[in-house]
A and B are shown apart, each in its own frame.
Chain A
Amino acid sequence: MSTNVTAKSPAPAPAGKGGSTGGGDGLLQLMVDGMRRNMRQYGMLIALGLIVVLFAVWTDGDLLLPRNVSNLVLQNSYILILAIGMMLVIIAGHIDLSVGSLTAFVGAVAAVLMVKHDLDWPIAVVLCLLLGAAAGAAQGFFIAYLGIPSFIVTLAGMLTFRGLTEIFLEGQTLGPFPEGLQKVSNGFLPEVGPDTNYHNLTLLLGFAVIAFIVLQEFRDRRRQQEFALDVPPFKLFLLKIVALAAAVLTVTMMLASYKGAPVVLLILGVLVVGFGYVMRNAVIGRHIYAIGGNLPAAKLSGVRDKKVTFLVFLNMGMLAALAGLVFAARFNAASPKAGVNFELEAIAASFIGGASMSGGVGTVLGAIIGGVVLGVLNNGMNLVGVGSDWQQVIKGLVLLLAVGFDVWNKRKVGS
């Protein structure tokens, strides 16, 4: 079982690729087995595929127009950034209610620094990220070292940061932001090279990603053989690579036929690959799973649980700051009402993506899938003209359904 889907493709891969091309019964059986063992991930991926197909049909294909796909990325980038951090927090067995307010607060500070005081935007960005990290660290300190429940600490943070936002902005909306920062949040990769009807840099990037995936998979397989471990049959391995490559290629072509890849997509890609790798392969990642899965056992194994918890919240603060900057720059203004309910969207994304209330379970890719499910629902319902009232009802039901399915599935396996 080396289903290395985690953190390998920067863009969420549309499902339904290469399903029935299998060669022979044995191969099909292996695939089915692998899927069954990773029911959580594949279940959500399949659900996402169904939702995409549903809305694609419903909107006469508008959903999958290059322009709309581009929009989808831009609209959801900040929630996805938050969802990555939130997934870590939930895996560690905690919750963070403060991220929406913190997002607004950092946006406000950013506006004050750049608009009022004309600070260079790169410097301001670094300062804002540090501020977010500090805010996260403060909350992490109360949670990890003083043992105050995270629900309480971050509820306090939610109120505090919201209040501070209004104080900083004096109740007003502040803008506009420097053009450089706007480009990061709203812009696309620059156009280079000859005119090819496609966005050259995006194509290049897509091919590079595909090449990287292929190389990485082959390297992985070779290493497995070096260590004399069983490897999946070559056909299955090949199938997996083809499916991954096809998915990346599809997204690449879509983006390249419009304005190219948004800059935030690049940032997101780096975050997903980076955090996916950390959670899967780094010692600290393991420790996060361990303290969420069984805290006493982790302690008795020598895991420094307090430090790990602290770092998880510090990280969440930093990602909230990043989300705040992206959000403020996208709307070109910092508003006291920014980021309302973002924490709930991020939490919902994590749970839809396979996190568990009791901690210890979940993947970064899962959080992204959960976030994209919500994003596609939002976008699709907007396109077909469902009002925001019904949108909330439907999103609520989807969350209930996703987690309900998970619980049901677990009970079935358990009995």
Chain B
Amino acid sequence: MAGPVLEMRSIVKTFPGVKALSDVSLSVRPGEVHAICGENGAGKSTLMKVLSGVHPHGTYEGDILFEGEPCTFKDIRASEQHGIVIIHQELALVPYLSIAENIFLGNEHATRGFISWTETLKHATELLRRVGLDEHPDTRVADIGVGKQQLVEIAKALSKKVKLLILDEPTAALNDEDSGKLLDLILGLKDQGITSIIISHKLNEISTVADSVTILRDGRSIETLDVKAAETTEDRIISGMVGRDLDHRFPERTPHDTEVGAAPALEIRNWTVHHPIDQQRKVVDDVSIQVRRGEIVGIAGLMGAGRTELAMSVFGRTYGRYAGGTVLKDGKEIRTKTVSDAVKNGIAYVTEDRKHYGLNLIDTINRNITLSALGKVAKGGVVDEHQERQVSEGFRKSMNIKAPTVFEPVGKLSGGNQQKVVLSKWIFAGPDVLILDEPTRGIDVGAKFEIYTVIDKLAAEGKAVVFISSELPELLGMCDRIYTMSAGRLTGEVQRAEATQEVLMRQMTKDKR
């Protein structure tokens, strides 16, 4: 076949309030490994969901041609029948079923509803050999590591007579050795004639396995490059990923006087954290950072860089298994073993996932704001409702939370207003150090500006702010200094004056292995 095996033309996909894909075209040649890269939120996963029928035909605009035929998949099953199989970032295996059962789940070797175990076993063994997994098919999936589980997923895909295999950040959860094996397997499958699309932002990975790479940015396909061509350097890819105008607006920020002599408000030394389940894997590896009063310090990194994990493990060890490191506040070592310890020591963490970790959606604005510091409006264990209401009314006005009263349930508010409630909650706790994790995720431009203004004001009041974000322009606009992380490690520290998107992206994609 001479023409492309897959063509996606001018795909547009809109979610309520957000345009996830505004114009994406993609053309994949038969038998190649095609990489797709782009920043967080560039639309990579959405595009693959459109292709595999997770977003069914009719919910998007544009055409998809597979092997020359137009595709109108109404669900995943339909796309799988055509030989398009997607392996999601979060593996879709049932942990308490065996490898063989998982491989043929929904596709069992059965006659009249009864499973033929000999046939199942025979086929499973063959498939496992093909993916190079040396485990008995009867082993429970829960008993093998993530790397091997990934191989089971691929075996499952092979059992469905896959022609086009889509892997969404397949190595994000793997250690170096497993990643290497997986990449080898992808190359092996290529030799067997299977076309792959691999979503990744690890540039070294792309240059190892991919033949061509398509770059997405802000829901548009920017360009497709031939990886094997000499002019396709990592820098070239980076400039494609970030080449965007700074169209966001930020409050006028003059870096505040930071007493360079004084001890930093927050200092984290040699912080190491292991994955909560896969305890061999270091999610945060020997990270040391410091933040002074009045300073806004950014942490940049792509998915899986370990930013949230760093923040949460410092904040009361709420993530992973602590494996070493100290936290100092104003030069003195402090205990942050529990959330109460951290709060008592003046640290606040504003989560990236406000719906699950930040708010009690069924409760009122009022009660959400005071929850982390109820003692401030209570005497002898009894909450003074009137004082509480006064406090939250104050925040409703000063933060411009759009709600008729503070007795409105938080779940009814828009994302931006919910975020203001979370911020109010932690400002009310009166911390010296605020760790803000993606504080503007999923909210509109107007609300973003309001939140930037609040952050700026906090720094002006002498608080130390750690600003974790995936949006580089936002970091460039707000921060005095930016740390970069990649694969759990600190890969750089950039001063405001020297920071550009290209510099940061280079550090963020650096593999310090």
A residues apposed to B, CB below 8 Å: 1, 37, 223-224, 226-229, 280-284, 286-287, 289-290, 293-294, 296-304, 360-361
Residue of A nearest to B426 (CB): A301
When distances are taken between beta carbons in the complex, the residues of chain B under 8 Å from A360 are 360, 362-363
13 sample A-B contacts, Cβ–Cβ < 8 Å, listed by A number: A37-B407, A227-B390, A229-B389, A280-B385, A283-B382, A287-B374, A289-B360, A293-B360, A300-B349, A301-B371, A302-B340, A360-B360, A360-B363
Residue B357, interface by CB 8 Å: yes
Q: Is the CB of A286 within 8 A of B367?
A: yes
Complex alpha-carbon distance, A299 and B367, angstroms: 15
Residue of A nearest to B349 (CB): A300
Complex alpha-carbon distance, A281 and B383, angstroms: 5
Complex alpha-carbon distance, A361 and B405, angstroms: 20
A286 touches which of B318, B371, B390 (Cβ 8 Å): B371
Task: For residue B398, give the distance in angstroms from its CB to the closest CB of chain A.
Answer: 15
Residue of A nearest to B353 (CB): A296
Q: How many residues of B contact A (CB 8 A)?
A: 37
Residue B387, interface by CB 8 Å: yes
Complex alpha-carbon distance, A299 and B338, angstroms: 9
Task: For residue B338, give the distance in angstroms from its CB to the closest CB of chain A.
Answer: 8
Interface of chain B: mostly helix, strand, loop or mixed: helix
When distances are taken between beta carbons in the complex, the residues of chain B under 8 Å from A294 are 356, 359-362
When distances are taken between beta carbons in the complex, the residues of chain A under 8 Å from B363 are 289-290, 293, 360
A1 with B407: in contact, given A299-B339, A302-B343 (CB under 8 Å)?
A: yes
Task: For residue B444, give the distance in angstroms from its CB to the closest CB of chain A.
Answer: 22
Q: Is the CB of A300 within 8 A of B386?
A: no
Most buried by B among A37, A286, A294, A304: A294
A296 touches which of B316, B340, B356 (Cβ 8 Å): B356
Complex alpha-carbon distance, A165 and B349, angstroms: 50
Task: For residue B346, give the distance in angstroms from its CB to the closest CB of chain A.
Answer: 12
Task: For residue B372, give the distance in angstroms from its CB to the closest CB of chain A.
Answer: 4
Q: Is the CB of B390 within 8 A of A228?
A: yes
Most buried by B among A1, A37, A302, A361: A302
**Between A and B, how many residue pairs show CB distances below 8 Å?**
89
Residue B378, interface by CB 8 Å: yes
Q: Is the CB of B383 within 8 A of A301?
A: no
Complex alpha-carbon distance, A284 and B380, angstroms: 11
Q: Is the CB of B358 within 8 A of A300?
A: yes
When distances are taken between beta carbons in the complex, the residues of chain A under 8 Å from B371 are 286, 290, 298, 301, 303
Complex alpha-carbon distance, A289 and B387, angstroms: 20
Q: Is the CB of A304 within 8 A of B383?
A: no
Q: Is the CB of B375 within 8 A of A283?
A: yes
Q: Is the CB of B382 within 8 A of A300?
A: no
Task: For residue B477, give the distance in angstroms from its CB to the closest CB of chain A.
Answer: 28
Residue of A nearest to B364 (CB): A1
Complex alpha-carbon distance, A300 and B347, angstroms: 12
Q: Is the CB of B374 within 8 A of A286?
A: yes
Residue B351, interface by CB 8 Å: yes
When distances are taken between beta carbons in the complex, the residues of chain B under 8 Å from A283 are 374-375, 378, 381-383
Complex alpha-carbon distance, A302 and B382, angstroms: 18
Q: Is the CB of A227 within 8 A of B360?
A: no
Complex alpha-carbon distance, A290 and B372, angstroms: 10
Within 8 A of A (CB), among B328-372: 338-340, 342-343, 349, 351, 356-363, 367, 370-372
* Bitwise interface map of B from 1 to 38 toward A, beta carbon under 8 Å scored 1, else 0: 00000000000000000000000000000000000000
When distances are taken between beta carbons in the complex, the residues of chain B under 8 Å from A286 are 367, 370-371, 374, 383
Complex alpha-carbon distance, A220 and B379, angstroms: 17
Task: For residue B39, give the distance in angstroms from its CB to the closest CB of chain A.
Answer: 27
When distances are taken between beta carbons in the complex, the residues of chain A under 8 Å from B405 are 1
When distances are taken between beta carbons in the complex, the residues of chain B under 8 Å from A302 are 316, 338-340, 342-343, 372
Residue B511, interface by CB 8 Å: no
Task: For residue A81, give the distance in angstroms from its CB to the closest CB of chain B.
Answer: 23
Complex alpha-carbon distance, A302 and B374, angstroms: 10
Complex alpha-carbon distance, A201 and B344, angstroms: 51
